[in-house]
Structure 1
């Protein structure tokens, strides 16, 4: 095929996908970062679209795989994921206690209010699934918090310790659930446990158990994870003195239920009963607390509902998961990561309900729109996308699915 013929075919594909999306020349050109004149020449076959950056830009805006435009494979690239992984060496040093940040001699510690704001921002970045930005920010934040804790041995010392614990926890969940560095997550949790031990606060000790449970689940030991969660529940039930403590107890019931779903050695019906029991306890606590952001988490009726969808999905009760989803309104949470988790799990269940595969793809695309970094890193979502790629789907649904698969690095 000569260059003129290739340009004509690519131009036709670009025009066809643009019209299917209901976009004007000006809209597509603006979103892709090129001139209207250039796009017009591409669509009319007068200019060959051969720059990988522009091919990727058009494909991203049109929500298709680049191969849908060029007819040829095109290596996927996720700059956000790349940025997160590139920042890992500095974060590793920070977790090892080797400060990767050069601190000028004589520098004083930042004011507690400034550090508290940075810790809150780190947790917001985690819940917004901005993993690249968060990973880059954590090494300096941890270094500055340790500096402040070492310098502050007066009344503000305990506050610094609490801030340190609150900073280690997004580091743990980021490394564990989203980037796959289980060993580094274990170090983060261990560092947090050391800090919390100095606080001698039973509620914070239960929080430490909550995050240790996450690590044990990821390490492939749901039995130990459940035992650690139960220990934290027992400790916390003796110290339910604040609404925040009730919210944490609810989270512990939710993670206990998650641990049980992962334990394949338990009989299926027994697992369902135990999971249901923990969900019921969490629902009672959520009715008492309402929607909260205690401990930089998102406990409340909405998050309990989101867990009901995910837990039924993991148990293989896909129809029940879809029915539960109809009663959940994830937009009530100011947490894009949790919203994306809801749509991802709904998509995973819909993929296994006969005749609802197109809805499954729509749900997965909705999740990606909300929090692309979370969705692209999700192993279970990747499995579902691979499963759907082998199904017979309407042409427009298959096209959208191939675009998602490309952005996840599953196909080129």
Structure 2
């Protein structure tokens, strides 16, 4: 089933495998038969989390079965980051907090500095491939045989940051199960540290990797984590972690169509962002006023918003502040492009936003299932000649039939 290129094509295979009609599946997923018919034919993009989650639940499959696993092409920019996954997987699965995979490690201060360099890398995937697995190995050495209590806590705190990088790198490349493993390793470490900030960081990772079948549970977990941290977020880092939890809660509410709750948590995030410097490059999780604006766009696209209203939201985001966060900037640009692609008169503009996203972080965009779905849908609708040429070029780099 993963051989089918678009989500719509996989949807048809899975629906027929379950012996369901379009009307039956639409009724169970809360969608219309006409929408699903167009999606299966590639005329509508299945790129909203709420739709994918509802369809996966109705079909009784994982989101990965519907969206597709890691998709490799001949394009080295797209495929090369996948080569690091086996080493990351080994580092996550072999090391334990009582038995490291290696018996040698560099000084702890050097490992902390290397983790900071990875955190602030503009091309995180490239840095991760060579640095993260050995970093995880060596941090476990210090966690298992620390010089003192302070060194023990530093090693564990740095491990959480390493697991965060492993979580989102794996998720970006389509390895959702590995992302969840990395998140749960962070939860394990946070329990030992037993401080609210570490617990909040780990909770954020867990929430972002919870499976589709637990949509209500995801919102409950996000709201509980935010409420637990609210009275303890005294410094800037605490505010940033709390802010990311409020954004996670807003996303979780949006996916289950609880838009009033989603707006509540977005407003909370905006208030928190006003307490700290608007410096996404330096802040944990990039939480900042600028990043809240990016999330407003992403959640508007998730709700189905497009056209002029979406562009108004996008124009409020200061892209220059995202210069040091290429992945975040590319995600923002691609969200706008995906939203505009739903409106026929704006599809040429959508292609321009998608191409800008690809220019900013090609490795991320060429591995995005949502962007691949949008490109496939736009091609199926045969946009203008110029746009078609751009799309065919993107399609070739992403492995979409063109």
Question: Quick check: TM above 0.5?
Answer: yes
Contact 2:236–2:276 under 8 Å retained in 1: yes
- The 5 Å alignment of 1:355-366 reads 355-366=345-356
**Residue of structure 1 in register with 2:180 after alignment:** 186
Determine whether 1:384 maps to 2:374.
yes
Q: Secondary structure at the match of 1:288?
A: coil
Determine whether 1:87 maps to 2:84.
yes
Determine whether 1:238 maps to 2:235.
no
Query: Deviation string for 1:2-29 (max 9, x for gaps)?
Result: xxxxxxxxxxxxxxxxxxxxxxxxxxxx
Tell me the number of residue pairs that the alignment of Structure 1 and Structure 2 aligns: 324
**Residue of structure 1 in register with 2:118 after alignment:** 122
Contact 2:173–2:368 under 8 Å retained in 1: no
Query: Deviation string for 1:297-319 (max 9, x for gaps)?
Result: 11111101111111000100213
Structure 2, unaligned runs of 5 or more: 1-71
Determine whether 1:150 maps to 2:144.
yes
Structure 1, unaligned runs of 5 or more: 1-74
Contact 2:215–2:252 under 8 Å retained in 1: yes
Once residues 395 and 284 of structure 1 are traced to their aligned partners in structure 2, the CA distance between those partners, rounded to angstroms, is 45
Q: Offset at 1:81?
A: 3.8
Identify the match of residue 75 of structure 2 among 78, 83, 86. Answer: 78
Q: Which has the larger radius of gyration?
A: 1
Once residues 223 and 367 of structure 1 are traced to their aligned partners in structure 2, the CA distance between those partners, rounded to angstroms, is 32
Once residues 162 and 73 of structure 2 are traced to their aligned partners in structure 1, the CA distance between those partners, rounded to angstroms, is 32
**Residue of structure 2 in register with 1:278 after alignment:** 265
Which one has more relative contact order, counting CA pairs under 8 Å at least 6 apart?
2
Contact 1:142–1:164 under 8 Å retained in 2: yes
Identify the match of residue 198 of structure 1 among 169, 192, 196. Answer: 192
Query: Deviation string for 1:261-300 (max 9, x for gaps)?
Result: 222xx4xxxx232222111111111111132456641111
Query: Deviation string for 1:223-242 (max 9, x for gaps)?
Result: 12111111111110121211
**Residue of structure 2 in register with 1:306 after alignment:** 294
Q: Secondary structure at the match of 1:152?
A: coil
Q: Offset at 1:76?
A: 4.9
RMSD value, Cα: 2.2
Contact 1:344–1:363 under 8 Å retained in 2: yes
**Residue of structure 2 in register with 1:8 after alignment:** none
